[in-house]
Amino acid sequence: MSGPRPVVLSGPSGAGKSTLLKRLMKEHEGVFGFSVSHTTRNPRPGEKDGKDYHFTTKEAMQDGIDNGEFIENAEFSGNMYGTSKAAIEDVRAKNLICILDVDIQGVKRIKETDLDPIYISIQPPSMEVLEKRLRDRQTETEESLQTRLEAARIDMELSKEPGVFDVVIINDDLEKAYEELKEILDEEIKKVQEAKS
Ligand SMILES: Nc1ncnc2c1ncn2[C@@H]1O[C@H](COP(=O)(O)OP(=O)(O)OP(=O)(O)O)[C@@H](O)[C@H]1O
Ligand SMILES: Nc1nc2c(ncn2[C@@H]2O[C@H](COP(=O)(O)O)[C@@H](O)[C@H]2O)c(=O)[nH]1
């Protein structure tokens, strides 16, 4: 595939992926494009259909999967999530760096494709900090919080396996984590900016 290299951001729910990528996109207008995933979970307050996710039903999503419309899909915390081929194409058609926010199952499935992204894991400094962040975000029920923490334990172990990620960023201090992320992507950012000038 031609154009700038896509970027996969992964890591436990609550580690800070959306926080970092929203800032990255805001500070680099016209450089990044978000691959809008499909999900069967309910929207959170403030989330917009078509921007944060394509919110859909299990039936419609399963039809799309059966029709080969997704490059990967996974079940996470009782809901379906997936990256459609169209979501990636929409970004790549504009010659932008395509950012995918997917869980560890998504990372493994994307590795079986020819997408060839830069794989970045965003990790919390500890389980305790992660739990506090998730509780403070007030988006989960106690049940879904516990499911997410269990998935986080698995994610934190798998992310240590050599070769899974190109880089692991510990998001303790937000400024430091953001600077690290920018530095990793500096070369790709410059390529897009130069192509536009
Ligand atoms: N370095 C940080 N220090 C303190 N709070 C943080 C930091 N990074 C993110 N947060 C906060 O932690 C919460 C979780 O962050 P965020 O929603 O970005 O996580 P996420 O990895 O995108 O989660 P999910 O995968 O569930 O979407 C948010 O309320 C965010 O404001
Ligand atoms: N495999 C995929 N995982 C995805 C996708 N979109 C998001 N995610 C991951 O799901 C969890 C939960 O997200 P939330 O928005 O409900 O908090 C998180 O780890 C995301 O990275 C996808 O298309 N495929």
Quote the number of domains for the chain.
Answer: 1
Separation of alpha carbons 111 and 29, rounded Å:
28
pLDDT digits (tens, 9 = 90+) for 46-105: 999 999 999 999 999 999 999 999 999 999 999 999 999 999 999 999 999 999 999 999
In a domain, 1, yes or no: no
Atom 10 of ligand 1, residue of closest alpha carbon? 16
Q: Looking at the annotation, which residues are catalytic? A: 44, 137, 148
**9-43 pLDDT tens trace:** 999 999 999 999 999 999 999 999 999 999 999 99
Check residue 116 and give its pLDDT.
97
What integer is the mean pLDDT of 120-125?
A: 98
Whether the CB of 135 sits within 6 Å of ligand 1 = no
Q: Tell me how crowded residue 79 is: count the other CB atoms within 10 A of its CB.
A: 14
> Residue 197's pLDDT band (boundaries 50, 70, 90)?
confident
Name which residue sits closest to atom 5 of ligand 2, judged by CA: 102
- The phi, psi pair for 98, rounded to 5°, reads -85, 120
197 domain residue, yes or no: no
For 32, the enclosing helix (H) or strand (E) is: strand 32-34
CATH assignment of the domain containing 159: 3.40.50.300
Structural domain including 188 reads 7-192
Instruction: Output the pLDDT for position 1.
Output: 56
pLDDT at residue 3, as a whole number: 84
Confidence class for position 174, pLDDT limits 50, 70, 90: very high
Centroid of ligand 1 to alpha carbon of 130 (angstroms): 8
Dihedral, CA of residue 193, residue 187, residue 70 and residue 162, to nearest 10: -170
Q: Ligand 2 centroid vs 197 CA: distance in angstroms?
A: 34
Which two three-digit tokens encode residue 188? Answer: 């790709």
